[in-house]
Structure 1
Amino acid sequence: MNLRSLTTIPMFILGAVLLLLLGALGLSFAVGLPVQAWFADDPPPAAGIQGVTLDAKDRPGPVTYDHLERLGISHVAIVPYIFQQDAETPVFQANYGSGWATENDQGIRSIARALDKRGIDLVLKPQLWLRDDTKGWLQNITFEEGPEWDQWKAGYREHLMHYARMAERLEADVFCVGTETDRLAASHPGFWRELIADVRDVYSGELTYAANFGTFGQIPFWEALDRIGVQAYFPLAAARGSVSVASLKRRWTPYKAALAVEARAHGRPVLFTEIGYRSAPHAAQQPWAWPTSGEQATMTPAPKLQARLYRAFFQSVWNEPWFSGALLWKWHRHDEAFYDERAIDYTPQGKPAEAVIRQWFSERPLTGRRHNRTQEKGPGQ
Structure 2
Amino acid sequence: METINGMTFGFMSQRGNWQDPMSRESLRKMKEELAVSHVILPITVTQAHPQATKIDWQSDSVLSDAEVKGMIAYAQEIGLKVILKPMVNVADGTWRAHINFFDHDVPCEPTWSQWFDAYRDYLNHYARLAEETGCVMLVVGCELVNSDRRDAQWRETISQIRQHYHGLLTYNCDKYQEDQLIWWDAVDVISSSGYYPIDKWEQELDRIEKVVKHHQKPFFFCEAGCPSREGSQYLPNDWGLPGEVSMMAQSQWFQRMFTACDKRNWVQGFGIWDWKAQLYPREAALKDDDYGVYGKPAAKIIREFYKSTK
Measured in 1, the distance between the counterparts of 2:26 and 2:155 equals: 41
Change (3 A) 1:275 1:176: same
Counterpart mapping for 1:340-379 below 5 A: 340-362=285-307, 364-366=308-310
Work out whether 1:143 is the aligned partner of 2:102: yes
State, as a whole percentage, how many aligned pairs show the same letter: 25
Change (3 A) 1:323 1:218: same
* SS of aligned partner of 2:233: coil
Q: Out of 303, 320, 323, which is 2:264 matched to?
A: 320
Change (3 A) 1:88 1:61: closer
Work out whether 1:197 is the aligned partner of 2:159: yes
Which residue type is aligned with residue 135 of structure 2?
A
Change (3 A) 1:282 1:104: farther
2:249 aligns with: 305
Residues 168 and 204 in structure 1, CA contact (< 8 A), matched pair in contact too:
yes
Q: Out of 228, 234, 248, which is 1:285 matched to?
A: 234
* SS of aligned partner of 1:94: coil
Deviation at 1:89, TM superposition (A): 2.0
TM-score when normalising by structure 2:
0.89
Deviation at 1:357, TM superposition (A): 0.6
Which residue type is aligned with residue 196 of structure 1?
I
Residues 281 and 305 in structure 1, CA contact (< 8 A), matched pair in contact too:
yes
TM-score when normalising by structure 1:
0.73
1:258 aligns with: 207
Residues 229 and 272 in structure 1, CA contact (< 8 A), matched pair in contact too:
yes
Greater Rg over alpha carbons, structure: 1
Work out whether 1:122 is the aligned partner of 2:71: no
- Unaligned runs of 5+ residues in structure 2 are none
Measured in 2, the distance between the counterparts of 1:98 and 1:336 equals: 22
Counterpart mapping for 1:219-230 below 5 A: 219-230=181-192
Counterpart mapping for 1:132-281 below 5 A: 132-133=92-93, 137-146=96-105, 148-186=111-149, 188-236=150-198, 248=199, 251-281=200-230
Measured in 2, the distance between the counterparts of 1:335 and 1:179 equals: 24
* SS of aligned partner of 1:202: coil
2:4 aligns with: 49
Which residue type is aligned with residue 111 of structure 2?
E
Measured in 2, the distance between the counterparts of 1:254 and 1:332 equals: 31
Deviation at 1:230, TM superposition (A): 0.5
Residues 9 and 27 in structure 2, CA contact (< 8 A), matched pair in contact too:
no
1:65 aligns with: 28
Measured in 2, the distance between the counterparts of 1:206 and 1:337 equals: 36
Counterpart mapping for 1:25-44 below 5 A: none
Measured in 2, the distance between the counterparts of 1:124 and 1:61 equals: 17
What is the aligned-residue RMSD (CA, Å)? 2.0
* SS of aligned partner of 2:91: strand
Measured in 2, the distance between the counterparts of 1:350 and 1:256 equals: 29
* SS of aligned partner of 2:217: coil
Change (3 A) 1:206 1:268: same
Deviation at 1:204, TM superposition (A): 1.1
* SS of aligned partner of 1:209: strand
Measured in 2, the distance between the counterparts of 1:69 and 1:221 equals: 37
Deviation at 1:66, TM superposition (A): 4.2
Measured in 2, the distance between the counterparts of 1:289 and 1:95 equals: 30
Change (3 A) 1:79 1:143: farther
Measured in 1, the distance between the counterparts of 2:128 and 2:100 equals: 26
Stretch deviating more after TM superposition (141-150 or 119-128): 141-150
Measured in 2, the distance between the counterparts of 1:235 and 1:63 equals: 29
Change (3 A) 1:227 1:360: same
**4+ residue segments displaced more than 6 Å:** none
Deviation at 1:179, TM superposition (A): 0.9
Residues 125 and 176 in structure 1, CA contact (< 8 A), matched pair in contact too:
yes
Equivalent residue pairs, number:
297
Measured in 2, the distance between the counterparts of 1:259 and 1:119 equals: 31
Measured in 1, the distance between the counterparts of 2:31 and 2:231 equals: 27
Measured in 1, the distance between the counterparts of 2:262 and 2:65 equals: 33
Residues 102 and 112 in structure 2, CA contact (< 8 A), matched pair in contact too:
yes
- Unaligned runs of 5+ residues in structure 1 are 1-45, 237-247, 367-381
Q: Deviations over 1:316-351 (max 9, x none)?
A: 103412111100000123644664111101001111
1:331 aligns with: 275
Measured in 2, the distance between the counterparts of 1:310 and 1:320 equals: 16
Residues 101 and 111 in structure 2, CA contact (< 8 A), matched pair in contact too:
no
Which residue type is aligned with residue 134 of structure 2?
E
Residues 167 and 203 in structure 1, CA contact (< 8 A), matched pair in contact too:
yes
Q: Deviations over 1:17-40 (max 9, x none)?
A: xxxxxxxxxxxxxxxxxxxxxxxx
